[in-house]
Structure 1
Amino acid sequence: MGDQMITVGGRSSSAQKLLCYAEAYLTEEGKWAYPAYDSYESSTASKVVGDADLLAVSLLNAGQKPIPTFYTFRRLLAPLNERLADPALDGTLEDAGDETLDAIADLFGVLDEYAPTPQVGKTKLSKVLHRKLPALLPLFDKQVWRTYSEGDAAPLPKDRNRSHRDYVRSWLPLLQEDLTKNRAFLEEVTKLALPDVQITRLRALDIIAWHLGGK
């Protein structure tokens, strides 16, 4: 892709540099979360969160204070699984309409409605949910937040009064835009994955956004 610039959120870098980073992330087994997180066996069906799924957060370096994290998630399982059963949660994020975007935001709204949620925020919740529907439910953490919400070019400026649900509902269309405009590049990233541990373009976008947010 030569010197093409890739922009995600409010940050940019050359396609060549980003592909080099993605190749390291996806091939240097033992150093990064991939393939451990992506191949970690799910406990139940794709639209049901079970106990074993709750341990996956540690494989993306989000396992601080695992005991309160686990028990908080256990308290959230019933409302999460009720919302995951929404038939609107289907397909890919790229193709999602308003009904599906609302349903995704409602999943994160659990954090607002069942507050306080000790040790569980959008980061850990996203890491549990993404593995259930990896083409639809996005990953989130501080570095992804920086990519979209920190800096002069950030498309979703920080707002301390915004709820978890409202942040996610505002963020999702930006992800859709980045998935669409960078589709060819993200396809190149997915091809770097191991044959037996494939990733979606949405996972590839997270890898790139995380890297850009670390600058």
Structure 2
Amino acid sequence: MTTTLRVGAAQVDFEEAKIWATEYLVGRPGASAYPAYDGYPGSDGDLIGPQDLLAVALLNVSNKPLKVYYGLQGQLELLNERLQSPNLKGSLRDASAATLEAIADLFDVLEEKPADNVKLTTLSKVLHRKRPDLLPLFDAKIRYCYTDCLGAPVPPKKKRSKRDYRLAWLEALQHDLDQQHAQWEEIAALAPDPKISTLRALDIIGWELGRRKN
């Protein structure tokens, strides 16, 4: 029986998804963002240190690394303040409404303390490494799956705030993690060292789906 894996409204046969993940995780040594991004040492602990800001370059987020670094540096104090919220706990799959709101509070830093060249794509790459089971990755490919493709669960809406969009996306993402948890665990287990979360596994497949527009 064929199993379909879904990210938003984009989908792929599960066996095909495992081939994509294997190629990304083990098939392109020296050319893939794994393990460079996932294994980058960064700072110890749950808070963001200056060295963590460099990790975004390992996912090819920006061709302006200095501007990105200084922009993130200016947001660092507020981000670390919000990372200490007691609601930022557990995994996204099991997150309560309060936890989703706390994640949205983190993303709100983008509007409260805006910085050139720092958007959700960039910020999410920094945050994910501090809470890999809880804080999701975002980019144009993931947006395609959840917003821009036919039947997407979070379609564009006029006058919807960025916060409301992000909350709706988090809920849709949570649904995909929960409904297909065993499949995401199997894909995550393909990573040799370092290990990755199911949330990272979903990002890998979502990126491929967005790239191929499946």
- Coarse TM-score class (shorter-chain normalised): over 0.9
How many aligned positions are there?
A: 211
Compute the TM-score of the two structures, normalised by the length of structure 1: 0.94
Identity fraction in percent = 46
In structure 1, what is the Cα distance between the partners aligned to 2:139 and 2:10?
16
Q: What per-residue deviation string (whole Å, max 9, x for no partner) do you get for residues 99-130 of structure 1?
A: 10000000000011123x20000000000000
Give runs of aligned pairs for residues 158-173 of structure 1, distance below 5 A. Answer: 158-159=156-157, 161-173=159-171
| Correspondences of 1:69-108 after superposition (within 5 Å) | 69-108=68-107
Matching residue of 2:132:
134
Residues 1:60 and 1:160: Cα distance change in structure 2 (over 3 Å): farther
Residue equivalent to 2:37: 37
1:208 to 200, 205, 209: 205
Secondary structure of 1:24's partner? helix
Q: Which runs of 4+ in 1 moved over 6 A?
A: none
Give the secondary structure class of the aligned counterpart of 1:187. Answer: helix
Structure 1: 5+ residue runs without aligned partners? none
Unaligned runs of 5+ in 2: none
Q: Helix, strand or coil for the counterpart of 1:57?
A: helix
Which residue matches 1:179?
177
Question: C-alpha root-mean-square deviation of aligned residues, in Å?
Answer: 1.3
For 1:110 and 1:164, the matched residues in 2 are separated by 11
Q: Provide Cα deviations, 1:22-52, integer angstroms capped at 9, x if missing partner.
A: 0111102212101110000022312x11110
Structure 1 residues 114 and 162 mapped into 2: Cα distance closer, same or farther (>3 Å)?
Answer: farther
1:149 aligns with: 147
Q: Distance in 2 between matches of 1:201 and 1:154?
A: 21
Scaled by the length of structure 2, the TM-score of the pair is 0.95
Q: Distance in 1 between matches of 2:161 and 2:35?
A: 32
| Structure 1 counterpart of 2:145, one-letter code | T
The structure-2 alpha-carbon separation of the partners of 1:22 and 1:79, relative to structure 1 and needing over 3 Å to count, comes to same
Between the aligned partners of 1:145 and 1:159, the Cα distance in structure 2 is: 14
Distance 2:156 2:64 in 1: 27
1:107-118 matched pairs, under 5 angstroms: 107-115=106-114, 117-118=115-116
Per-residue deviation, 1:160: 6.2
